[in-house]
Amino acid sequence: MPIDEVDTPALLLDLDAFEANLAALHDAVRGSGARVRPHAKSHKCAEIARRQIAAGAIGICCQKVSEAEAFIDAGIRDVTVTNEVVGAQKLRRLAHLARRARISVCVDDPANVAELSEAADRAGVVIDVLVEIDVGARRCGVPPGEAAVSLVRAVKAAPFLRFAGLHAYQGSAQHVRAVTERRQQAAFAADYAAVTRDALARYNIACETITGGGTGTYLFDAASRVYNELQPGSYIFMDADYRRNDWDDRAQFRQSLFVLTGVMSTSGAGHVVVDAGLKALAVDSGLPAVHGRAGLEYTKASDEHGVIGVADRAVRPRLGERLWLVPGHCDPTVNLYDHIVAYRADRVEAIWPVVARGALW
C-alpha cells in the first residue's frame, strides 16, 4: 500500500532510519564492554523488540509487569523490569513470569525485598534483583555508597532472590541540552555507581551488572567503564525534545517516527487545522515539529485538533493535504496508538501492533 492511502492520523516508522539507528547504536558501543538492553517502554512493540535483539541486544527493559507479560507472551525471553514492583497482586504476576523467562526487577526498600522474596517462594522461582540507587534524578532509589550496601545485604539474605547488580539510571540527565553539562551529569551518575560497587567490594559482594544510561548519555555511559549494560529507548525513534539536545556527531540518531496528519480546515486566516491533537500526540515535552515544511508551525493542540500557523512567506497547505509531524516526546505518543505503520520510501511494508499499549499495571 502506498503511504498516500494511509488514513490520518497515523503513527509512521521510517524503516530505513529505524534500521540505521539500530546499527548506529551497536556500532557506537562496540568494544566498550557494555551490553545493550534497550528500553521497550518507548515502543511497546514486540516486532521492534525482536529486531533489537536480532541487532545484538541481550534482552529488553520494561517499566511495568503488564508490559513484561505482553513481551514474554510475544516470545521475548529476557526482561528487566527497571522499576520497583509493589503489592501482592503485581508481585504474584511478576513471580509467575519468572517461570517463563529470565526476569530481573529493581528494589529500593527492605519491606519490598521481603514481599518479593515471598512471592518468588510461592511461585517456586528465584528472581534476579537489582538494587536501584539514586544517581542524581531524585526519583526512586536508595542513596549510593554505604547506604545501598545494607539493602544489597537484605537482598542477599532473602532466600528466593539473587542479587544481580545495581540499577543506576539518571533520567533527567538525558535531556540536558549542552553536551558538556550532559557529560558531567552522566559522569556523576557513573561515579555514584562506582562508589557503590566499591563499597560492596569491601564486603566481598560482587556486582555482576551495573545498568543504566539512555539515548542522551549512552556514549558517555559506555565509555565510563562503570556501566556494563545500557538501556536506551528513544534512539530508535528520536523526537522533537531529544532533537533540542546538542549532540556529538557520533551520538546522533535519525528521526524515524512521525505522526501523519491531514488538513481538515483551511478557513482560518493565518492558520490551518489538522486532525492530530492531544489524543494523537503527547505534548508534555513540547508541541510537535512540522517536518520538512518551512514556515509552518504547530502552535496549539486541543483534544482532536492541531492549529498550524502559516507564515506569510510559506506555502499554505490545502484542504486534505497531509503533513508529517515529529512528536515532542516519543514514548507517550506511541502509547496512544494500537499500530505502528512501518514504511520504506513511499510504501507501507508492515503494520506492527503496539502490544503493550496501555499496559499500566
Site for a second copy contains 265 (CB under 8 A): yes
- Site residues (CB under 8 A) for a second copy, limited to 222-261: none
| Cβ nearer to a second copy, comparing 181 with 284 | 284
Give the start-end residues of each E strand in the chain: 10-14, 35-36, 60-62, 78-84, 102-107, 127-132, 161-167, 209-212, 229-230, 257-265, 271-274, 289-290, 296-301, 306-310, 322-326, 339-344, 347-353
Choose between 111 and 178: whose C-beta lies nearer to a second copy: 111
Tell me if 171 sits within 8 A of 129, measured CB to CB.
no
Find the Cα–Cα–Cα–Cα dihedral 41, 350, 36, 224, rounded to 10°: -80
For a second copy, the closer of residues 56 and 143 by Cβ is 143
Residue 63 binding a second copy, by CB under 8 A: yes
CA 176 to CA 293: how far, in whole Å? 27
With binding defined as CB under 8 A, does residue 111 bind a second copy? yes
Out of 69, 134, 221, 241, the only residue in the binding site for a second copy (CB under 8 A) is 134
Between CA 220 and CA 227, with CA 222 as vertex, the angle to 5 degrees is: 110
Q: Is 119 in the site for a second copy (CB under 8 A)?
A: no
Residue of 50, 90, 102, 344 interacting with a second copy (CB under 8 A): 90
Q: How is 281-324 classified by DSSP, letter by letter? A: S--TT-PPEETT-TTEEEEEE-SS-EEEEE-TTSPPPPTT-EEE
Quick check: 311 binds a second copy (CB under 8 A)? no
Which of 168, 257, 289, 301 binds a second copy (CB under 8 A)? It is 301
By the rule CB under 8 A, 174 interacts with a second copy? no
Residue from 1, 319, 345, 350 touching a second copy (CB under 8 A): that is 319
Contacts of 41 (CB under 8 A, 6+ apart): 61, 62, 63, 67, 233, 331
Q: What is the DSSP letter of 143?
A: P
Residues 10-39 that bind a second copy (CB under 8 A): none
Q: Is 320 in the site for a second copy (CB under 8 A)?
A: yes
Residue 129, CA distances (Å) to 122, 309, 351 in order? 17, 50, 36
- Residue 303 C-alpha cell reads as 483534544
Element (H, E) at 28: helix 15-29
CA angle 172, 355, 21 (to 5 degrees): 55
Tell me the three state secondary structure of residue 210: strand
Q: Please, which residue, 228 or 306, has the CB nearer to a second copy?
A: 306
14, 69, 108, 241: residue in contact with a second copy (rule CB under 8 A): 108
Which of 84, 121, 191, 297 forms a contact with a second copy (CB under 8 A)? 84
Of the candidate residues 120, 251, 329, 352, the single one contacting a second copy (CB under 8 A): 329
Applying CB under 8 A, which of residues 55, 74, 86, 126 lies at the interface with a second copy? Answer: 86
Q: How far is the CB of 33 from a second copy (least distance, A)?
A: 28
353 binds a second copy (CB under 8 A): no
Binder among 2, 268, 292, 295 for a second copy (CB under 8 A): 268
Least spacing, CB of residue 305 vs a second copy, in Å = 6
As given in the structure block, the three cell numbers for residue 101 are 523467562
Asked if residue 278 binds a second copy (CB under 8 A), the reply is: yes
Residues lying near a second copy in the complex (CB under 8 A) are found at: 7-9, 41, 63-64, 83-87, 89-90, 108-109, 111-112, 134, 138-143, 171, 262-268, 271, 273, 275-276, 278-280, 282-284, 301-305, 307, 319-320, 329, 331-332, 335-338, 357-358, 360-361
